[in-house]
Every structure is written in structure tokens, then in C-alpha cells.
């Protein structure tokens, strides 16, 4: 049995993994989806001080509370920032990392520095609060505003990802106007320490490429 911990992207909650959670559990695995502070059913906790550090701490505490050992951490989009930070902080709890069309930061980087101008424009479209990035119109109705500070704050890492048994990157090839993750994909695709998968899918891999994604996660475990 493998323990999978699933971390959603911006504006989403653990519910975005519902189908994947069910599929993995049907295979006999332990699956723990997480909703980060200030998002979805936890949106009542959103305030100007919620940042990347808050979300990394969310995941670290979650791993500890659930008594997770040798986890496969799975992060979608922004979730890649969170799982990288948590894995760096508690590497003894982590076995493998899977990034789903996600950011893979090095120390000193942020979503802001890693993304493109179109995404930066979205980040700055905060409403009257000045700190809440609204969900995009095509997102699931359950999506909620995302804390701007988490997208701007740089990550601080003490080690690198080579200490983990396996690292997978799943790249979604279908983006209108080009993928903000193309530079990350280009950097990793020829690295022998990474398993890079290219799927003919839009960014929401859980919805648009469920069968391929399931196979990748089962292999990672």
C-alpha cells in the first residue's frame, strides 16, 4: 500500500482530486487530499497574512498529524510550490514527488518569478481586498479566491530534490496561448533524474486525462 498526499493548485480544494482519490483507493492505497488555508471550504480563514509559508506549514502539519511515512506527494500547479517546501522540511516522511503541470522551484524562486506575464496579470487582478486573486471564470464553481502573498513569496530550501527515490513531472501540452510551465518542462525533460510525461491534455489533468494520470501515479508508488 502506498500513501498518496494530494495538494491542489490555486483557488482549488481537495475536492479537485475526488475522481483520482476514488481510483487510487480502489487499488488499495491510502489517499489523503488536502485543502490549504484560506481556500474552498477553508476560505473563511483567508486574510492578507496567508502566504506560501502558511501553506507549506499546512502540509507539514498534515503529514505529521496523519502519521504519514514514505509518502508520494502529488501537487497540481501552485501545489508544486507547497510540496517542494514541505518535502525539504520533512524529507524523512517523503518517498517520491509527482508534479502535475506544476511549479518546481529552486530556493529564492516564487510563482511570480517562474510564471509568464499573462499569469502575472491574473495574479494582480485582486479585488477590493487587495490580497485575494479571484478564480478564473472557467474554474469549478467551488473554486475560491487565492491569497496573493502565496504567489509572490519566495521559497527557501535547505536541500535539493535528489534525495528522494523518484520524481515525476506531468506536462499538459494543451494551453491556449502557451503554457506557463513550458520553461519548467524544457528544463526537466532531458534530466535523467526525472521521469517526464507529456500528455495531450489541458491543465486540469485530473479531469481531462484521468486514466493516463492514474497509470503515472501507480508507477510512482
Host domain of residue 105: 3-220
Q: What is the pLDDT of residue 76?
A: 98
Contact 114, 103 (CB under 8 A): yes
Query: What percentage of the chain reaches a pLDDT higher than 70?
Result: 100
**pLDDT value of residue 211:** 95
pTM as predicted: 0.97
For the chain, what is the domain count?
Answer: 1
Active site residues: 77
Q: Which three cell numbers stand for residue 92?
A: 524523512
CA–CA separation, 20 and 32 (whole Å): 11
Span 19-73, pLDDT tens digits: 999 999 999 999 999 999 999 999 999 999 999 999 999 999 999 999 999 999 9
The candidate with the shortest Cα–Cα distance to 62, out of 99, 7, 103, 144, is 7
Which residue matches cell numbers 483520482? 20
151-204: pLDDT as tens digits: 999 999 999 999 999 999 999 999 998 999 999 999 999 999 999 999 999 999
For residue 217, give Cα distances in angstroms to 40, 42, 127, 176: 25, 27, 37, 26
Residue 128: per-residue pLDDT: 84
Q: Residue 207 pLDDT > 90, yes or no?
A: yes
| Statement: residue 9 has pLDDT above 90 | yes
State how far Cα 76 lies from the chain centre: 3
Q: Residue 156 and residue 159: Cα distance in Å, rounded?
A: 9
User: Residue 127: what pLDDT?
Assistant: 82
pLDDT at 122 over 90: yes
At 218 the pLDDT is 98
Q: What is the CATH number of the domain that holds 134?
A: 3.40.50.1820
Q: pLDDT averaged over the chain?
A: 97
Amino acid at each position: 500500500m502506498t500513501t498518496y498526499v494530494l495538494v491542489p493548485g490555486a483557488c482549488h480544494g481537495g475536492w479537485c482530486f475526488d475522481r483520482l482519490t476514488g481510483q487510487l483507493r480502489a487499488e488499495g492505497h491510502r489517499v489523503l487530499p488536502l485543502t490549504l488555508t484560506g481556500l474552498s471550504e477553508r476560505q473563511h480563514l483567508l486574510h492578507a497574512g496567508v502566504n506560501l509559508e502558511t501553506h507549506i506549514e499546512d502540509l507539514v502539519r498534515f503529514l505529521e498529524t496523519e502519521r504519514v511515512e514514505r509518502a508520494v506527494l502529488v501537487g497540481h500547479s501552485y501545489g508544486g510550490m507547497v510540496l517542494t517546501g514541505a518535502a525539504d522540511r520533512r524529507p524523512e516522511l517523503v518517498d517520491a514527488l509527482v508534479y502535475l503541470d506544476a511549479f518546481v522551484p529552486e530556493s529564492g524562486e516564487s510563482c511570480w518569478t517562474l510564471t509568464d506575464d499573462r499569469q502575472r496579470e491574473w495574479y494582480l487582478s485582486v479585488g477590493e481586498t487587495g490580497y485575494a486573486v479571484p478564480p478564473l471564470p472557467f474554474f469549478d464553481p467551488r473554486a475560491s479566491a487565492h491569497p496573493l502573498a502565496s504567489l509572490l513569496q519566495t521559497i527557501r530550501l535547505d536541500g535539493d530534490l535528489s534525495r528522494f527515490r523518484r520524481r515525476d513531472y506531468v506536462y499538459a501540452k494543451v494551453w491556449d496561448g502557451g503554457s506557463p510551465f513550458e520553461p519548467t518542462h524544457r528544463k526537466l525533460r532531458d534530466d535523467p533524474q526525472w521521469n517526464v510525461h507529456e500528455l495531450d491534455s489541458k491543465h486540469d489533468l485530473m479531469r481531462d486525462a484521468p486514466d493516463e494520470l492514474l497509470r503515472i501515479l501507480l508507477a510512482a508508488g
